Amino acid sequence: MRRYATRDTAKRLVMSATIFGRADHMDSWEWNKIIGAVLGTVMFVVVVKFATEAIFENGPPAKPGYVVEGVEVAATSSAEAAPVAETLPDWGTVLTSADVAKGHDISHRCEQCHDLSKGGPDKIGPNLWAVVGRARASRASFSYSGAMKAKGGEWSYDELFKFLKSPGAYIAGTKMSFAGLRSEQDRINLIAFLRTNADSPVAIPAAKPAAAAPAAAPAKAAPAAVPAKKT
């Protein structure tokens, strides 16, 4: 309830008496209502927020907004399936008949993450000039993954062939997110181009000798005649 200031007969400023004499009680009641309203509003907002998030929860997009050709979408499983073993090509035969021009076309996919020119910079991946025959993880200017360093060896024809099929499956933990080339002929053509992309291309090995035809199985002997029974 409100109280009003007035002056008494001695002209002193005094407060008027409250109705029913309960000003302090009514003031505390008003404050309780205000605090209760604020708390109620806060609780309502929190409840609405959680309910909205539960109803309209956004899952991961079915398709990324920007797709880099050949880059693998994250798999639902933490471990990638191991590549199926396949027969390695006879490089002395397939490189002489490979389509280097088609391999050059395929190499444009590599250029999204690699520079292929002589003396070119490293990008997301290392420079690939003269990569055929080069020691693995050997460019000092590039920070390779621990998995790539641990693999060791060099980028021989066989190693490139296996790696390019599925980089993440062949070297688990590699930084390379390229999905790979499933086509055997595409890999052969690309490797044939990468071989020429060097000052001194690695030599083509001699073709393997043709496998000898298997010997014919010996003819089975005719079964012995059964003698006729005497009557």
Structure confidence by residue, pLDDT tens digits, 53-111 = 777 665 555 555 444 445 444 444 444 455 567 899 999 999 999 999 999 999 999 99
Nearest-CA neighbor of 125 among 103, 141, 101, 108?
Answer: 141
Regarding predicted confidence, which is higher, 111 or 223? 111
Q: How far apart are CA 166 and CA 164, in angstroms?
A: 5
Q: Output the pLDDT for position 198.
A: 97
Q: Which two tokens stand for residue 49?
A: 């927020």
Q: Output the pLDDT for position 213.
A: 58
Q: How far apart are CA 165 and CA 183, in angstroms?
A: 8
**Residues with Cβ within 8 Å of residue 168, at least 6 apart in sequence:** 72, 80, 174, 176, 177, 180
- What is this structure's pTM? 0.59
**Residues with Cβ within 8 Å of residue 14, at least 6 apart in sequence:** 5, 6, 7, 8
> Which whole number is the average pLDDT over 16-22?
49
Nearest-5° Cα angle at 100, 159 to 123: 60
Q: Output the pLDDT for position 218.
A: 63
Residue range 169-219, pLDDT digits in tens = 999 999 998 999 999 999 999 999 999 999 999 999 999 987 765 666 666
Please, where are the H alpha helices in 67-183? Answer: 91-97, 100-110, 146-151, 157-165, 167-170
> Which whole number is the average pLDDT over 130-152?
95
Rounded to the nearest integer, the mean pLDDT of the chain is 80
Q: Output the pLDDT for position 65.
A: 47
Beta strands in the chain (DSSP E): 5-7, 13-15
